[in-house]
């Protein structure tokens, strides 16, 4: 039978991740110390290092968790539509739909990306995690096209990169000018036309 600390480890890890997310969003990745994360979570640094070897590793745990949740939402929304024959407008609406946590995640991930741009090792790891999330998006797009009896006129990995770039760039502008550009505005206006030009029967 597992000992107490082993059974508690998932809870410890979850509390550390939650505390780190709060701290990174409030003060920034660079300004947040491991001691501060532990203080917020109510654990010692020993508990921290039994779960994560560094602050970078903790960020990537947050990254994978966020990516999995975002992709799960995408799959659920597609599956929840009565008609599986999605229109470009419906696809654009699904891609533009953001969770309440997206603003916090954008703050955290953008700062880490800037840090990674100055740190080749972190950049390589970020690229690996990006690639895994993108591969899952490609899998979802492939399944959709197969169901629709269509194919893409472009490489789907490049298309996934473009969709992510549009989504993140549009979100940045909406976060800076929320009244002038509500979230989802650019995606709803331009993604349908883009998708029509890239998917063909």
CATH superfamily of this structure's domain 54-200:
Tetracycline Repressor, domain 2 (1.10.357.10)
For a pLDDT cut of 90, what percent of the chain falls above it?
A: 58
pTM over cut 0.95: no
pLDDT given at position 157: 95
Q: What residues of the chain score a pLDDT lower than 50?
A: 1-4
Q: What is the DSSP letter of 200?
A: E
Helix or strand (DSSP H, E) at 139 = helix 120-148
Enumerate the CATH 1.10.10.60 domain ranges in the chain, comma separated: 1-52
d(CA 1, CA 132): 34
pLDDT given at position 99: 75
**Pairing assessment for the beta strands 199-200 and 151-152 based on DSSP bridges:** antiparallel
Q: What is the DSSP letter of 152?
A: E
CATH code of domain 1-52: 1.10.10.60
d(CA 47, CA 23): 18
User: 77 Cβ partners below 8 Å, 6+ apart?
Assistant: 94, 97
pLDDT given at position 194: 87
d(CA 30, CA 28): 6
Q: How many CA atoms lie within 13 A of 96 on its CB side?
A: 20
Enumerate the CATH 1.10.357.10 domain ranges in the chain, comma separated: 54-200
């Amino acid at each position: 039978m597992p000992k107490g600390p082993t059974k508690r480890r998932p809870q410890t890890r979850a509390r550390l991740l939650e505390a780190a997310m709060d701290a990174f969003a409030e003060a920034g990745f660079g300004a947040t110390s491991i001691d501060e994360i532990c203080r917020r979570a109510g654990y010692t640094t020993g508990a921290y290092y039994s779960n994560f070897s560094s602050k970078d590793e903790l960020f990537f745990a947050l990254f994978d968790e966020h990516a999995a949740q975002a992709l799960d939402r995408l799959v659920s929304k597609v599956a929840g539509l009565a008609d599986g024959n999605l229109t470009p407008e419906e696809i654009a609406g699904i891609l533009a739909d953001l969770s309440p946590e997206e603003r916090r995640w954008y703050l955290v991930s953008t700062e880490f990306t800037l840090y990674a741009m100055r740190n080749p090792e972190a950049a390589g790891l970020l690229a690996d995690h990006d690639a895994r999330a993108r591969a899952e998006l490609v899998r979802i797009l492939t399944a959709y096209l197969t169901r629709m009896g269509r194919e893409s006129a472009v490489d789907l990995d490049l298309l996934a990169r473009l969709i992510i770039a549009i989504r993140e760039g549009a979100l940045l502008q909406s976060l800076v000018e929320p009244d002038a550009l509500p979230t989802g505005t650019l995606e709803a206006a331009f993604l349908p036309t883009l998708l029509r030009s890239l998917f063909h029967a």
